[in-house]
Amino acid sequence: MACTNNEILETFEAALAQLRVPEEPELLYMPIIYSMSGGGKRLRPVLLLLTTEAFGGSIEEAMSAALAVEIFHNFTLLHDDIMDNADVRRGKPSVYAKWGGNVALLSGDAMLISAYKYLARISSDVLPRVMNIFTDMALEVCEGQQYDMDFETISKVSVEEYMQMIERKTSALLSGSAMIGATMAGALEEDVKKIYRFATELGLAFQLQDDVLDSYGDTALGKKIGGDILEGKKTYLMVQALNRASAEEREVLCTTHRRTDISDAEKISIIKELYDRLDVKRIAEQQIELRFERALAVLDTLSIGGERAATLVEFARNLMGRKK
Amino acid sequence: MACTNNEILETFEAALAQLRVPEEPELLYMPIIYSMSGGGKRLRPVLLLLTTEAFGGSIEEAMSAALAVEIFHNFTLLHDDIMDNADVRRGKPSVYAKWGGNVALLSGDAMLISAYKYLARISSDVLPRVMNIFTDMALEVCEGQQYDMDFETISKVSVEEYMQMIERKTSALLSGSAMIGATMAGALEEDVKKIYRFATELGLAFQLQDDVLDSYGDTALGKKIGGDILEGKKTYLMVQALNRASAEEREVLCTTHRRTDISDAEKISIIKELYDRLDVKRIAEQQIELRFERALAVLDTLSIGGERAATLVEFARNLMGRKK
C-alpha cells in the first residue's frame, strides 16, 4: 500500500529532525539549522520520495537524496535573500536580516556543500547518474535566478523568455527531484524522461498560479496582495500585459510602481485595471490549466501504469490547491 | 619516468584551456571564465596530479578531479572577495569589483556546483570516497573563513586557535587535493593519511611564510609590504605579538592601524618595531622550519619509498621558494 502525501511528509520531517551540524563555528552552522527548521512545504523531498515509491524504490534509501534537495532549496533561499535584499522569509527574519550578508553568504555555501554530503550517501551504483541530475538541476536554478535578475533591467521580455526563466527557476528543482526519485528506484529511462515532463509542466502551472495569486489572491488568507506590482516585478501577468499593451499603456505598466504621488492601493488598482483590460488574467488561467492537464496526462503514459502514480496525482492537486 | 612539476602544470593548463561553459546567461558564466583564466599558481591541481602519479595513478583519469579542486579554489576567491570587500585579485579587478556583489555571489555558486560536475566524471568505484574527501575539505575551508572573520572582532586569539584556523583555511584544500590524488591511484589507507599530514604541515608552513612575507617581504618583487598591518589583520605575527605583549604594547598593536595622525609608513614601522622587540619574526621562522621539515619527513615513511615522492619534495620546495 503506497504512502499518502501526508505520511511521506511526516517521514521526511522525522528524518530532517535528526539533521545534525557541528556546533562551531556557530555563525557558519547555526543559520543552517535556523533555515532548515523554519518550515516550508517540503515539496521537493516529498515529490522525490513519492516518485521513488511509485517506481517501487525504497523511501529509506532515497532519504539522504531527499535531504539533499531540501538543503539545496534552502541554500537558494539564503542566497536569493541576499540578492533580493529580503528581510523576511516564511514570516521570520531572513538569515540575511538576522546575521547579515556575509553570514548568509558563507552559511549558504556550507549548505550547498552539505547538500552534496547527503547526496554522497546514496548507493554508489546510482551515485554518478544522480549527481549529474542534481548538478544540472542546480545549475539551471542558478541560470533561472540570473535571468530573473536580468529581466529587471530589460524593458522587453517575451513570454517565451519568461517561461524559459521559470522553467529553470521553479520547475528545475521539482523535475530534478522527481527524476532523482525515479532513478534511485531503477525506473526505465523513458519513464525518467516522462517524470521530468510531468514535474516540469506542474512546476510551470505552480509558478504561473503563484504569479496570479500575488495580484488576485484571497486577502482572507492573510497574504499581502499586490507585492509583485509594487516591486515592479516582471511576472507572467506583467510580461503578457507589456506584450499586448499600446505604447501609452506600456508606459503606465512600467512606471506606476515608481510613482510617489499616489498610494500603494491606487498603484495596485491602476495596474490591475490594465491587466483586466488586456485580459491577461484569463490568459494566465488558461495557461495554468493547460500545463496542469499536460502534467497529469503524462502520468497516464508511465510504463508502471496510471494507478501506481495516484500519489503523484494527489501531489499535483495538493500543490495547486485543488480538490479534484 | 615521473613528470616534473612544470610538466604537470603544463598538462593541467592545457586541460583547463579546454574548459567550456554555456554562453548564456552571460553574467552567470562569463565571470567563471574570467576568474579561471586569471592566472594563479594552480597549486592544488598540480599537487593532486603529482600525488596520483607518485602512487602509480593515471594523470588523465585524475584530471577532472584536478579541475574540480581548481574551480573550487577560484569559487572561494569569488566569495571571499565579496566578504572582504576586495577590489583586486591577481592584479586585475575582482569579479566583485567588475560586476558587483550579486554577480560574484551567483557566479560563485555556479562555480561550486561546476566543481562537483567535474568531480562526478571520475571513475564510479572511487567517486563516493573522493566526494567525501572533497566535501569535508570544502566544509573545512568554509569553517576557516568563518573563524578568520570571527577573529576580526575577538580581541584575544590564542596561537593554537590561529593555527587551527589556517589549517582549515589554507591547509585543508592542499591536504584534500593530495588525498584525492592518492585515493584515485588506489593508495593504501595509511599512505593517504600520511599524504594528508604532509600537505597539512606544508600548508601551515606556506601560510606562516605568507604572513611573514607580508610584513618582511622583498619590496623588489613588487609586492606591497605591510598590507596586513594596515588592515589590522590578525596574522601569525600579530597573534604571537598580542600574546607576548604588555598591556601597553597590546594597546599599540590593536590601535595603530586605525590612527589618522600618522602615515602608513609610520604605522608599519611602529608595528614592526614591536614585532622585533617581541621577537615574533624569529618565532614564526622557527615554526615555518619545523612544519616544513615535518612535511618532508612524512614523505620518507610512505610505503612506496621516498624516491617515488621526489616530485612531491620538489613541489614543497617550489611552494616555499627554496632551492634545496
User: Which among A105, A114, A143 is the nearest to B105, CB-wise?
Assistant: A105
Amino acid A322: pLDDT: 86
Query: Residue B146 and residue A109: Cβ atoms within 8 Å?
Result: no
Nearest CA in chain B to A24: B143
Q: Delimit the domains of chain A by residue range.
A: 5-319
Per-run averaged pLDDT (10 residues), chain B, 324 residues: 88 96 97 93 98 97 98 98 95 97 98 98 97 98 97 93 98 98 98 98 98 88 83 96 97 96 96 98 98 97 93 97 79
Rg of chain B's alpha carbons, rounded to an integer? 20
Is the Cβ of A112 closer than 8 Å to some Cβ of chain B?
A: yes
- Three-class SS state of A104: helix
Go through A13-29 and write b for each residue having 16 or more CB atoms within 10 A of its CB, e for each that does not: eebbeeeebeeebebbb
Amino acid B324: pLDDT: 64
Distance from CA of B292 to the nearest CA of A (A): 28
Write out pLDDT tens, residues A244-262: 999 999 999 999 999 999 9
Query: Residue A27 and residue B120: Cβ atoms within 8 Å?
Result: no
Extract long-range pairs of A215-220: CB within 8 Å, 24+ residues apart: A215/A268, A215/A271, A215/A272, A215/A275, A215/A281, A216/A272, A216/A281
Write out pLDDT tens, residues A172-193: 999 999 999 999 999 999 999 9
Query: What's the pTM?
Result: 0.97
Nearest CA in chain B to A128: B120
| Predicted ipTM of the assembly | 0.96
Topology adopted by domain A5-319: Farnesyl Diphosphate Synthase (1.10.600)
Query: Which A residues in the span 218-247 are in contact with B, Cβ-Cβ below 8 Å?
Result: none
C-alpha cell at A219: 486577502
How do strand A92-93 and strand A88-89 relate by DSSP bridges?
antiparallel
Query: Residue A128 and residue B135: Cβ atoms within 8 Å?
Result: no
Amino acid A41: pLDDT: 94
Amino acid A219: pLDDT: 72
User: Which among A109, A135, A146 is the nearest to B79, CB-wise?
Assistant: A109
Query: Which A residues in the span 132-171 are in contact with B, Cβ-Cβ below 8 Å?
Result: 132, 135, 138-139, 142-143, 145-147, 149-150
Counted residue by residue, chain B has a size of 324
B205, B320 in Cβ contact below 8 A? Answer: yes
Which residues in chain B are closer than 8 Å to A105, comparing Cβ atoms?
79, 82-83, 105
State the Cα–Cα distance between residues A302 and B160, nearest whole angstrom: 60
Taking residue B161's Cβ as centre, other Cβ atoms within 10 Å add up to 15
State the Cα–Cα distance between residues B244 and B239, nearest whole angstrom: 9
User: Which among B106, B113, B149 is the nearest to A146, CB-wise?
Assistant: B106
Amino acid A221: pLDDT: 63
Counted residue by residue, chain A has a size of 324
Is the Cβ of B313 closer than 8 Å to some Cβ of chain A?
A: no
State the Cα–Cα distance between residues B255 and A57, nearest whole angstrom: 63
**Alpha carbon distances (Å) from B286 to B16, B209, B241, B280, B281:** 38, 11, 15, 10, 9
B124, A127 in Cβ contact below 8 A? Answer: yes
| Ranges of residues in chain A whose predicted pLDDT is under 50 | none
Which residues in chain B are closer than 8 Å to A139, comparing Cβ atoms?
110, 113-114, 117
What is the interface size between A and B, counted as CB pairs within 8 Å? Answer: 114
A215, A239 in Cβ contact below 8 A? Answer: no
Q: Which of B269, B182, B279, B280 is nearest to B229 (CA)?
A: B269
Amino acid B1: pLDDT: 57
Amino acid B323: pLDDT: 73
